[in-house]
Amino acid sequence: MTTRETYPDQVTLADVQAAADCLTGVALRTPLLAFGPFDDEIGAPRVWLKPENLQPIGAFKIRGAYNALATLSPEERAHGVVTHSSGNHAQGIARAARMLGMKAVIVMPLDAPAIKVAGVRADGAEIDFVSADNEARVKRADELAAERGLVLIPSYDDARIVAGQGTIGLEIVEQLAELGRANEPLTVLVPIGGGGLSSGVCVAIKSLRPDATVIGVEPELAADAADSIREDRIVRWGPELTGRTIADGVRTSAVGRIPFAQLRRLIDDVVTVSEDDIKRAMLEASTRARIVAEPSGAVSIAGWLRYGDELPNVAEADTVIIVSGGNVDPETYRTLLAEAAGLD
């Protein structure tokens, strides 16, 4: 007999609401930016961007990071924290630790974008560099926690992280209600890496708007989440595969167990996009919305550009696209935009 794999307990709407209270005055309530279609009819359905690249650290990660650190005991805070990240979570932990007066050590890959490394250093965190292999980062963070008595804060496989990221979903529902769109069909597109963001958004959206559709988007070259949802188990992709995508923020080898427990019961679908799709999405964000989206942040825009005509209730629904971050090295950004402009 085959034993079915079990997963952790659910993260609840109450957890997300508590995180929202914790984040008051810390995380920006990012706006909904109209992205299209631009109909003359007042109150017509719209495609909206939720630009988390406008957060103080340039990405959504401040939400989960601050929520996780703020809930530590005084004794844990005194010990300091350690985490592992390719960049945006690293910046979130570094900023939250500085705000809370804590020591932070960040394990980062040697190929982390320079802009993200600079952000971590600017907030005073110590950096320990390892190879680009995600498993190497996890192992080193565990070693540092044991050697130095630091509190380990996971990048995404943590209920506090999931709840913090879920506050984006709360804001989406509130903002649409303020626009008089509370009872209209809704589709939300969200990037998937380790699953902290997508699972938290699912918890908030599906709790408040059970009629809404939530679709995860990830690169074809790092499609472990799509495989996991299809097979109803966590499927791992090695770093030699996920490392091929330009979307460095979603190169995780597998969805976390806590995020997957939420995703397997709540997310409606996971779709994949090509590297050229991501480049085009970055260009569209720049020219049509006048915002900077890093490759990982543009993944969800790429999903809309590729699959928009196939989305549920496409003619009647509001579509919200979560742009998860904008931390991209300037030279890389210019190169990718130029490559996008040259695509057929």
Which residues are marked as active site? 61, 324
Burial (Cβ within 10 Å: 0-12, 13-18, ≥19) of residue 232: exposed
Helix 257-266 crosses helix 224-231 at what angle (to 10 degrees)?
Answer: 60
Cβ–Cβ under 8 Å, residues 48 and 63: no
CB 257 within 8 A of CB 234: yes
With tokens 């330009």, the residue in question is 246
Please, what is the Cα angle at 106 between 102 and 109, to 5 degrees? 170
Q: What are phi and psi of 35, to 5 degrees?
A: -120, -20
Taken in order 260, 242, 152, 156, the sign of the CA dihedral is negative
In the block, tokens 């909904």 appear at 32
Cα–Cα dist 214/197, whole Å = 12
